Structure 1
């Protein structure tokens, strides 16, 4: 069996590391990795392949940040060429990026079976490009690997039980597999990180493309940092926006420690040692939970509803007072992280088994 796997963004590298390692140990399966280039600088891409022992992609398309339509279209053109040359049994995609959508559309047009890892997630906000990518990819997939009961329920509510050509499986979350496997290899990076700090990331377009929202977030973070320093690996998109809006941002936000993007093993160290997490990322919400840390999410909604329902994650609108008040509240919460929301860390094995038995 031959699988073409399409990846392009940091979370996808982490997820692919789990399944690629399992595939390598199976003589009946061959995997061809395509890296679209969606995340392209060394710290956003290359370091992941090195430190996580992911096989280097056979194909790197070098398609970088552009408008959504242009990026997705160029990815489709190049992915189609590779797929026609490789003639796989499956195309496998992860998550909700433009790379995911491009791979799904190519699979559909070429009538190649499509597998979607992290299927069924919904924020119910169609203004998010990721939401549209999820919905379309799920509709085109032959086999849908869902991490949670909520994801299964979403697909049921959308009528997926009526599609005889689709199979839906609950696998647990493949990011949990990665966290368990790589946590023993955490790396403390060579920075003067304070003993007490809050880990933060900001990158989502709905926050970075709105100047008022972006400055509100950083003003709030600077206030929170009075009590516990904010450690913030700076996404290239966010950095470029700050350089225009606040050229002296490093000197202005004195309670924020700005870092270059970190490798996964360095992020694991931060998760293990931080007080709590502030983010607008989807994946980091779960990783905070995996490492028994509370999370404040800079969004009105989340795909990971079980984290909110069980008290591990607090959502916030982008108002300075609300962000700071909820951050202070989190510091006083003593939460029990004993619940098993995302499976048992064996998602990768189950995914490969179902692909082989389809």
Structure 2
């Protein structure tokens, strides 16, 4: 077997969660790697606590990029990643998802004598106004190993002219992560008690995407729609809010309805426990759409499109936009559905499959 030196690049909470299974399998197999954290999520409560609670090794490199414009943030990451890959003589770089961290890792690697592996390849929302969509497309087209979570994602890659030899359907590492941590969350998380929540009698909400929270009208519509759902069901809403979104609420002078409880960002185990026990989740997060599908929790997506259409196909999710009436109708529709759908993202062995392919 050829000895490879990997670099694993991450920078946000979802990347930490979805790459955790890769890190664990590398450690189990004594595979050498350098862990590069760009610092795209830059506050401690959004970052280091994830490594601690998930028992992950501390990064070998931390670029401390922090917040900035897309161009400045990406250029700083690109420079830092390039230097490390060259210094460490890395021959395979792994990135996951669609963030600026992923884009920087992809561009840096494409200019060097190293191969790029993209985990969660082939996702498309077909909305090029979303920065994430551009990041996905660029990364897939410069990638050498494209690990598609589903056959549908692989088909989208083929439709863009990408050679079959670069495409591998492996499932999604989020299944590995959810399966590994669901029971741990039941045992260790006290989030329900801390927030006085009864399983099956509350709504979990997230909203963080720029197209929603940077638009005062869309953000106000989402808050209004969720308030109407809460009153219709007589359930409280719990909303772990990102600091950036809180700043937008203040900037737009928007008031959160009485039905909605704002809480600080949660670590993965606490958030997983809420997803697992909520009666309904209303979100604009792609990762949350996947996780609720795996956990058999109904989901309503407050966006105009989704790059996870499989969640809609199996009945786990409905995409409603941001009109309050559509949010209410979507919520009622989801709550009246059976939750016995089959999650389409694999069997929980994605990390094993990905490393088998690379090695």
1:245 Cα offset (Å): 1.9
Please state whether the residue corresponding to 1:169 is helix, strand or coil. strand
Q: Deviations over 1:192-242 (max 9, x none)?
A: 233210111000010011111011111221222222111110012211101
Q: In the alignment, does 2:295 pair up with 1:291? A: yes
Aligned partners of 1:33, 1:335: CA distance in 2, in Å?
A: 38
1:234 aligns with 2:230: no
- Structure 2, unmatched stretches of 5+, are none
Check whether the contact 1:17–1:53 (CA below 8 A) recurs between aligned residues: no
Cα contact 1:224–1:230 (8 A) shared by 2: no
Greater CA drift, 170-179 or 193-202: 193-202
Q: In the alignment, what sits opposite 2:203?
A: 198
Name the residue aligned to 1:332.
336
Alpha carbons of structure 1 residues 50 and 109: separation in structure 2 relative to 1, 3 Å: same
CA contact (8 A) 2:97 2:121 kept: yes
Q: Distance in 1 between matches of 2:111 and 2:151?
A: 30
After TM superposition, the score normalised by the length of structure 2 is 0.94
Alpha-carbon deviation of 1:340? 4.3
Instruction: Provide the residue aligned with 2:346 in structure 1.
Output: 343
Q: Indicate the residue corresponding to 1:244 in structure 2.
A: 251
CA distance in 2 between counterparts of 1:4 and 1:37 reads 16
| CA deviation string 1:126-182 (max 9, x = no partner) | 1110000000000111111000011110011111127xxx52110011100000001
Q: Cα distance 1:214–1:68, how it changes in 2: closer, same or farther (>3 A)?
A: same
Using the TM superposition, give the Cα deviation of residue 43 of structure 1 relative to its aligned residue in structure 2, in angstroms: 2.1
Q: 2:26 aligns with which of 16, 20, 23?
A: 23
User: Which of the numbers 213, 217, 223 marks the counterpart of 1:208?
Assistant: 213
Task: Quote how far apart the aligned CAs of 1:320 are.
Answer: 1.3
Counterpart of 1:105 in 2: which secondary structure?
A: helix
| Superposition CA RMSD, Å | 1.3
8 Å contact from structure 1 (residues 138, 144) kept in 2: yes
- Check conservation: 1:229, 1:257, Cα contact below 8 A: yes
Q: Deviation at 1:188?
A: 2.2
Partner residue of 1:175?
Answer: 174
Of 237-246 and 270-279, deviating more is 237-246
User: Structure 1: 5+ residue runs without aligned partners?
Assistant: none
* Runs of 4+ that moved beyond 3 A: none
1:302 to 306, 311, 316: 306
Moved more, 304-313 or 272-281: 304-313
Distance 2:269 2:184 in 1: 7
| Aligned-pair CA distance for 1:268 | 1.3
CA contact (8 A) 2:97 2:118 kept: yes
Please say if residues 6 and 35 of structure 1, whose CA atoms lie closer than 8 Å, have aligned partners that are also in contact: yes
Corresponding residue for residue 146 of structure 1? 148
